[in-house]
């Protein structure tokens, strides 16, 4: 199963394309505003409005043999702890070896933004290279899951 934190996910089409090639079911989880896919492998799950409701839904279900696509670092940490493969939208794999550093960096950056009101936003835009890295990372993750 591939779980996608779909509310602001820029790679939904890529997930669907790779999942179809591998015949892997997908659950796109969102609060709303998402057009359901006609692909029989893709189920759109609408969760109630509220903070972290989609994250909680995914975290309660993801485990070994699953792939989770998210940019939400706390959700990624919960899924890594549950044994799932986790990918960010840019193709970066999050795992037991790096999730602690990624969480610490996230928290540090949040503190810096809170301390300096002029240091808001920023970050790099999503590029074609990011999309390409994501496609390769998803292929690799599905192959690793299949080998287990």
Tell me the pLDDT tens digit for each residue of 70-106. Answer: 989 999 999 999 999 999 999 999 999 888 777 777 6
- Pairwise CA distance, residues 47 & 52, whole Å: 10
Q: How far apart are the first and last CA of the chain?
A: 14
Neighbours of 80 (CB within 10 A): 22
**pLDDT value at residue 24:** 97
The fraction of the chain above a pLDDT of 70, given in percent, is: 87
Whether residue 113 is predicted with pLDDT greater than 90 in this model: the reply is no
Q: Kindly report the pTM of this predicted structure.
A: 0.86
Take residue 22 and report the two structure tokens written for it: 């591998």
33 — pLDDT class (breaks 50, 70, 90): confident
Take residue 105 and report the two structure tokens written for it: 């960096």
Take residue 64 and report the two structure tokens written for it: 């070994």
Whether residue 122 is predicted with pLDDT greater than 60 in this model: the reply is no
**pLDDT value at residue 91:** 95
* For residues 121-134, average pLDDT: 83
Whether residue 2 is predicted with pLDDT greater than 90 in this model: the reply is yes
Residue partners of 10: CB distance under 8 A and separation at least 6: 89, 126, 131
**pLDDT value at residue 100:** 74
Contact 18, 139 (CB under 8 A): yes
- Pairwise CA distance, residues 56 & 50, whole Å: 11
- Pairwise CA distance, residues 90 & 15, whole Å: 12
DSSP 8-state code for residue 64: T
Closest to 1 in 3D by CA, of 28, 37, 25: 25
Distances (CA, A) of 23 to 17, 99, 124: 10, 29, 33
When mean pLDDT is compared over 104-113, 121-130, 133-142, the highest value belongs to: 133-142
**pLDDT value at residue 128:** 92
* For residues 12-39, average pLDDT: 94
**pLDDT value at residue 102:** 76
């Amino acid at each position: 199963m591939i779980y996608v934190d779909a509310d602001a996910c820029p790679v939904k089409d890529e997930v669907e394309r790779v999942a179809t090639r591998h015949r892997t079911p997908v659950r796109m989880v969102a609060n709303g505003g998402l057009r359901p896919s006609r692909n029989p492998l893709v189920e759109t799950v609408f969760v109630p409005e509220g903070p972290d409701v989609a994250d909680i839904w995914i975290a309660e279900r993801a485990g070994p043999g699953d792939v989770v696509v998210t940019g939400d670092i706390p959700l990624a940490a919960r899924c890594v702890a549950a044994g799932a493969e986790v990918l960010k939208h840019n193709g970066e794999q999050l795992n037991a070896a790096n999730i602690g550093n990624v969480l610490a960096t996230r928290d540090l950056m949040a503190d810096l933004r809170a301390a300096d009101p002029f240091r808001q936003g920023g970050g790099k835009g999503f590029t074609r290279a990011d999309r390409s890295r994501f496609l390769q990372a998803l292929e690799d993750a599905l192959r690793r899951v299949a080998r287990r």
